[in-house]
Amino acid sequence: MPDSTPKKITITNGGPYMVEDGIPIYDHVGNPIAATGVYYMCRCGGSSNKPFCDGTHAKNNFNGQEFASKDTSANRRDTYVGDGVTIYDDRSRCAHAGKCTDNLASVFKMGTEPWVDANGASVEEIINTIRTCPSGALSYTRTEDGEPEEEAEGPGVTVAVDAPYHARGVEVVAGDGESYDVRERQTLCRCGGSKNKPFCDGTHWYIGFKHQME
């Protein structure tokens, strides 16, 4: 029987992410950067060898303290029930990639309250848009209050341009050894500035984080 235990990314206190063997790493267009072995990936934003750690965190006053909730997503999320689809929104995991507001503004209405209209587009359009949310803040179910439907794509980590690591199908283990709730899609801070570490909160954009990929 295949092992269904998720592969792990473990946070080292004050240092990089330790990526377990068997989690491939890809660049922003899907080319593999690393396939096998344990990798240490930059978390402070200062490495000269991005996306890998070069020890800079020990010299640039990096504060890697984690602030993210370890509660379950079910306890954090808001629920918006529409005809044929229910949208879940876990604000505490949003990386502000803008895939929802940019691509389906009739449902995801920036600046209005409530900001989600689950009847603002077809079920198919809503599902297709939510599937592009890299952080997993948005999810959906086709029943009224079921578990989110998530397509298994992992394990893997994609290094986004000037933006966070897009992790899929992995378990993130905190520096204290406790795991965050396992979700299919998660965005991990790599600029060093998130106030919701280890997850991205969009700060990379405000501080002008740069790691232009070739």
Binding site for ligand FES (CB under 6 A): 95, 164, 189-191, 193-194, 200-204
Give 129 or 203: the residue with its C-beta nearer to ligand FES: 203
When the beta carbons of 51 and 82 are compared against ligand FES, the nearer one is 51
Shortest gap between Cβ of 74 and ligand FES (angstroms)? 24
Minimum CB separation of residue 132 from ligand FES in Å reads: 17
The residues pairing with 185 across neighbouring beta strands, listed in sequence order, are: 168
Q: How far is the CB of 147 from ligand FES (least distance, A)?
A: 27
Minimum distance from CB of 159 to ligand FES (Å)? Answer: 11
Identify residue 29 by its one-letter amino acid code: V
Q: Identify which of residues 42 and 121 has a Cβ nearer to ligand FES in the complex.
A: 42
Instruction: Report the 10 Å Cβ neighbour count for 94.
Output: 21
DSSP assignment string, 117-168: -TTSS-HHHHHHHHTT-TTS-EEEESSSS-PPP-----SEEEE-TTS-EEEE
